[in-house]
Amino acid sequence: MAEKHYDVAIVGGGISGSALFYTLAKYSNIKSVALLEKYDALATLSSSGRGNSQTIHTGDIETNYTLDKAKQVKRTANMVKRYCLQHGYENKFMFAHQKMAVGIGDKEVEYMKKRYEEFKELFPYLEVYDKEKLKEIEPNIVFDENGSERPEDIIGVGVLDQYSTVNYGAMAQSLAENAQKVKNKRFDIFFNSQVINIKQFGQKHILMTKKGDVFTADFVVVDAGGHALYLAHKMGYGKEFGCLPVAGSYYVTKSNFLKGKVYMVQNAKLPFAALHGDPDVLLDMVTRFGPTALVLPMLERFHGLKSFPEFIKTLNFDSNILKIFKDLFSDSDIRKYIFKNFLYEVPYFNKRIFLKDMKKLVPCLKLEDIEYAKGFGGIRPQVLNKMERKLMLGEASINPGTGIIFNMTPSPGATSCLGNAERDAQLICKHLKTNFNRKSFLADLVD
């Protein structure tokens, strides 16, 4: 098939790839971009409404975020909100709810009070809710199934009305559609175009797809989850990293047990976020609990072991990876956590064990109130840093400076989609010696 040349090729049509596609269309002088998507629609994996918690992570109620990290994600979270408001997507795929983090018991209550004092300047809208106020705004976290008040103290820190929930699958579709509305540009989307190899000759990159199509581009950005590291390794980049795919599953209720998002205090020894409850935009706002954290030998959820060979290659196993695993399993709390998350997937046992944990947050929950959410959950490509011999929490980007970038964006990657697009667009435009209209970008999405 004839070669198709573009200024930029983006591999992966999830929320990150779509955000960059939009940013280049609207805020740069780049004239042609190809968005290459493996499947027949955008955002079918971790960016879909079923694949994540649908949360705009602002840093205000995420107790596993430091103040510095909260400052970073607040900026990118506001970009998501500004984009949606600019295009009138509120109450279409962006919704406002109350949200809070709760401390349960004396130790957690004291922690939440201290955290409020530390974070209130960055988030001046935060309020503190004592048990009496929580009885009014989130009664199901105070009363048990018999209507009795929980004995331990409880406190909430949050806000009663703020945009906090997004269907990122719908947002990805909107970003792509709005990009293609920009006149006098060639911004094309190619579905069923799985990129299996990328080679560089001089200043040009050649991308080969599974079905035999060939694309060339002056700059390439790979926004394809764990597959980004797979393609980086094939080109000889990012060998200092391995990928640990972590699946997140959910449980759904039959009604609105919570009026908004409610997060619990993070256990500092555990590498992933604590269980929480969210209103699900795909299920008429009934409460969805999760996510769990289960290591799986695959880069894609619900596609069997089709991606097992890619998992083996991206794990990049050696003595450094072994040391990371040894350190993780040497901690009894982490061992118990890993085993429990395995049991969350085992029929019969899963609901009972999950219920026990969620009753800490919602003491009135009963076994018949929850069901395993079949088909919900995605894969988070957690990065293993072989140089530092540790599990990296958050995003990673490989930029060898040769006109190609590989991004791995587990949570809060969806929230950071436009912030990452801003960063990459500036790098692309500098490399291609063209203009990125940062002033316009900031005026629309930041200022």
Beta bridge partners of 295: 246
pLDDT digits (tens, 9 = 90+) for 375-422: 999 999 999 999 999 998 888 999 999 999 999 988 889 999 999 999
Residues 7-30, mean pLDDT to the nearest whole number: 98
Angle at 56 between CA 51 and CA 61, to 5 degrees: 115
**426 close to 438: Cβ distance less than 8 angstroms:** yes
Residues 266-281, mean pLDDT to the nearest whole number: 88
Beta bridge partners of 241: 385
In this prediction, residue 201 carries a pLDDT of 94
Q: How confident is the model at residue 2 (pLDDT cuts 50, 70, 90)?
A: low
Distance CA 305, CA 111 (A): 43
Residues 164-176, mean pLDDT to the nearest whole number: 97
Distance CA 54, CA 250 (A): 12
In this prediction, residue 135 carries a pLDDT of 97
Tokens 């049509």, located at residue: 13
In this prediction, residue 254 carries a pLDDT of 86
Query: Is residue 442's pLDDT more than 60?
Result: yes
Residues 52-63, mean pLDDT to the nearest whole number: 95
pLDDT digits (tens, 9 = 90+) for 363-374: 999 999 999 999
Structure tokens at 436: 């990125």
Query: Is residue 3's pLDDT more than 70?
Result: no
In this prediction, residue 102 carries a pLDDT of 98
Residues 129-136, mean pLDDT to the nearest whole number: 98
- Which of the 8 DSSP states describes residue 402? S
pLDDT digits (tens, 9 = 90+) for 205-259: 999 999 999 999 999 999 999 999 999 999 999 999 999 999 999 999 988 999 9
Residues 318-330, mean pLDDT to the nearest whole number: 94
| Phi-psi category of residue 88: left, alpha or beta, with phi > 0 → left and psi -120 to 50 → alpha | left
Residues 159-187, mean pLDDT to the nearest whole number: 97
Structure tokens at 26: 């609207």
In this prediction, residue 394 carries a pLDDT of 81
- Which of the 8 DSSP states describes residue 139? G
**222 close to 231: Cβ distance less than 8 angstroms:** yes
Residues 104-118, mean pLDDT to the nearest whole number: 98
**96 phi and psi angles, rounded to 5 deg:** -105, 140
Q: Report the percentage of the chain scoring pLDDT > 70.
A: 99
pLDDT digits (tens, 9 = 90+) for 71-103: 999 999 999 999 999 999 999 999 999 999 999
Q: How confident is the model at residue 44 (pLDDT cuts 50, 70, 90)?
A: very high
Residues 184-206, mean pLDDT to the nearest whole number: 96
Q: Are strands 214-223 and 32-36 parallel, antiparallel or unpaired?
A: unpaired
Q: Which residues contact 420 (CB under 8 A, 6 or more apart)?
A: 16, 19, 20, 76, 395, 397, 407, 409, 413
Q: How confident is the model at residue 1 (pLDDT cuts 50, 70, 90)?
A: very low
In this prediction, residue 368 carries a pLDDT of 95
Q: Report the percentage of the chain scoring pLDDT > 90.
A: 92
Annotate 329-348 with b (16+ C-beta within 10 A) or e (fewer).
Answer: eeeeebeebbebbeebeeee
